[in-house]
Amino acid sequence: MRNEYLTIKKLDGLGNLIHAFTTRTCGNAEDILRNHFKLDANEVFTVRQVHGDNIHVITEKNPKLNNVEADAIITNIKNLPIGVFTADCLPIILADIKGRGVGVVHAGRVGTSLEISKKAAAKIAEVFGIPPEDIIAAIGPGIGGCCYEVDEKSVNPFKEGFAYFKDITVKKGHGKWMLDLKEINKKQLMESGVEEKNIFTIDFCTSCHNDKFFSYRREGKSAGRMISFVVIRG
């Protein structure tokens, strides 16, 4: 991996977009955006992430707005970088192979229980007329099932709402469970029509590899944030 950021080879090969998942070793994210990607940090559109399932759509008819509460952004506007901030939650980048639309998703436990990635992929297909089989999904660094321990109350929405519950959890006893957010989101993306061969997962666990990534579980409120972004080339 590069010290400053990670990319997915499949997306790099498209040639019609720029994307990256930054790390904690990138230093000043503004410098990385400017020096490596020739982007001004002020140009990267972000939202107020609230751990929900709202998807902000940006088109020529529906321009970007200030102070939007959402946990996913999709757009078909060229040269408009969109991004999310994470430190254990999953950053997910969605991209059409023909450059007709892109999206970014912030998928934490609550957003995942609300199927935010599935809804975002479906929204890209619906709004931009993109066949789901043309969508590539990249699941970035986040806390892994190896480290993400939750209590009974937190796991209940998954137990009650997901047929594949046993595939995404490990019961530890004493009311504690290990929850695999990456596997859940992969399954949700497939349910939206994204083909398994087009879903790529960066396997780094942010808690295990706290030297490379910020981790809220490891560091608490003092944890910094990584930015993950995508932009359609003009």
Residue 29 or 182, more confident: 182
Q: Which residues contact 213 (CB under 8 A, 6 or more apart)?
A: 23, 24, 87, 141, 204, 206, 226
Q: Which residues contact 9 (CB under 8 A, 6 or more apart)?
A: none
Q: At 2, is the pLDDT very low, low, confident or very high (cuts 50, 70, 90)?
A: low
pLDDT one-digit tens code per residue, 183-229? 999 999 999 999 999 999 999 999 999 999 999 999 998 898 999 99
Domain boundaries, the chain: 5-143+197-232
Name the architecture of domain 5-143+197-232.
4-Layer Sandwich (3.60)
Residue 48 or 33, more confident: 48
pLDDT one-digit tens code per residue, 37-60? 888 777 899 999 999 999 999 999
Rounded to two decimals, the pTM is 0.95
Tell which residue, 32, 29, 39, 141, has the closest CA to residue 89.
141
Query: What pLDDT does 28 receive?
Result: 65
Q: Which residues pair with 178 in a beta bridge?
A: 149, 170
